[in-house]
């Protein structure tokens, strides 16, 4: 099986809610699991799922919590200093074939509880957030944001038919690319754009544009130095030292801006956690 490199945005685009886990909750668990520290000093991270298990290489507990609970880093509260620095290799195997959803949402949670003694609970806290709003008083969008979307949705894994082949030169297929410094999406909503932006600004972004349709957009900016370094196995977009910041690019290219405010945010609070004993 080919190696699958983890993408930074996967946990962010897929979910906005979190579920609590306590030690006494019964969840599907791996039949065999191994957790070992990784001291390679490498920044690359890999997560390779299969029908009978998952292999995780060089991941922090914070990363694994993101995958298991579908949260972003700023939603994980009260963790120890090693939460985002200590690296681990994890191999989990199941006796029967299961979906990737079960692997990551249930079995990985059970492993974190058993091996890291992780206990968490949900809270809603008033935290700094950004509101995504129109930058212009007339409400017009920028040149790189088009409405309504003109893309064509296509079912996943469906073979191309003569009809779709003939349509190849027509409207583009709906697609999404979200990388540091480079975001291009077709057929998405404003709330989806807000969720994508939240990864790069370190806060929840709430859509307050009032636009209810679908959009196509292309956004280019110069990532912060932190985002130029590989994280979660994602290569940053091309560096443009003289390019605009994300905040400037939003206004110039999409006609949108981020306003700082406060709002209730769902967070995952760590009550207890320990480093695992290697096996």
Within-domain flag for 2: no
For residue 121, the enclosing domain spans 10-125+266-272
27 vs 189, more confident: 189
Q: 66 and 191: one domain?
A: no
User: What pLDDT sits at residue 29?
Assistant: 87
Beta-strand runs (E) in 29-118: 32-37, 46-50, 53-60, 76-77, 87-93
User: Does the residue 171 lie in any domain?
Assistant: yes
Distances in whole angstroms, Cα of residue 243 to Cα of each of 15, 78, 144, 222, 254: 31, 36, 16, 5, 15
Whether residues 145 and 234 fall in one domain: yes
Residues 132, 260 within the same domain: yes
Distance between CA atoms of residues 199 and 11, nearest Å: 10
Residue 149 lies in a domain: yes
Q: Is residue 27 part of a domain?
A: yes
Check residue 156 and report its DSSP letter.
T
Q: What is the mean pLDDT of residues 208-235?
A: 72
Question: How many C-beta atoms surround the C-beta of residue 94 within 10 A?
Answer: 20
Residues 139 and 99 in one domain: no
User: Which of the four pLDDT bands, split at 50, 70 and 90, describes residue 164?
Assistant: very low
Same domain, 44 and 163: no
Rounded to two decimals, the pTM is: 0.70
Is residue 239 domain-shared with residue 112, that is, in the same domain? no
Is 142 found in the same domain as 59? no
Judgement on whether residues 114 and 145 belong to the same structural domain of the protein:
no
- Tell me, yes or no, whether 153 and 102 share the same domain: no
pLDDT attached to residue 9: 41
Q: 278 lies in a domain?
A: no
């Amino acid at each position: 099986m080919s190696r699958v490199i983890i993408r930074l945005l996967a946990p962010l685009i897929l979910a906005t809610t979190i579920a609590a886990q306590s030690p006494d909750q019964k969840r599907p668990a791996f039949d065999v699991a191994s957790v070992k520290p990784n001291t390679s000093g490498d920044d690359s991270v890999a997560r390779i799922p299969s029908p009978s298990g998952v292999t995780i290489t060089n991941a922090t507990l914070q990363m694994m919590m993101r995958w298991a609970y579908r949260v972003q880093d700023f939603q994980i509260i009260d963790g120890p200093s090693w939460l985002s620095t200590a690296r681990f290799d994890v191999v989990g195997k199941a006796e029967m074939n299961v979906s990737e959803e079960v692997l990551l949402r249930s079995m990985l949670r059970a492993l974190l509880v058993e091996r890291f003694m992780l206990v968490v609970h949900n809270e809603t806290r008033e935290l700094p957030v950004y509101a995504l709003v129109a930058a212009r008083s007339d409400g017009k969008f920028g040149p790189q944001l088009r409405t309504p979307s003109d893309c064509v949705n296509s079912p996943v894994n469906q073979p191309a038919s003569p009809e779709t082949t003939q349509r190849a030169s027509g409207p583009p297929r709906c697609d999404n690319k979200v990388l540091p410094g480079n975001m291009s999406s077709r057929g998405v909503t404003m709330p989806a754009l807000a969720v994508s932006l939240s990864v790069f600004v370190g806060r929840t972004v709430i859509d307050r544009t009032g636009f209810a349709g679908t959009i196509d957009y292309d956004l280019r900016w110069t990532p912060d130095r932190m985002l130029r370094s590989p994280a979660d196995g994602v290569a940053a977009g091309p560096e443009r030292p003289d390019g605009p910041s994300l905040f400037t690019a939003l206004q110039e290219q999409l006609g949108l801006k981020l306003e700082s405010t406060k709002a209730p945010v769902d967070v995952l609070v760590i009550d207890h956690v320990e480093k695992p004993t290697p096996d």
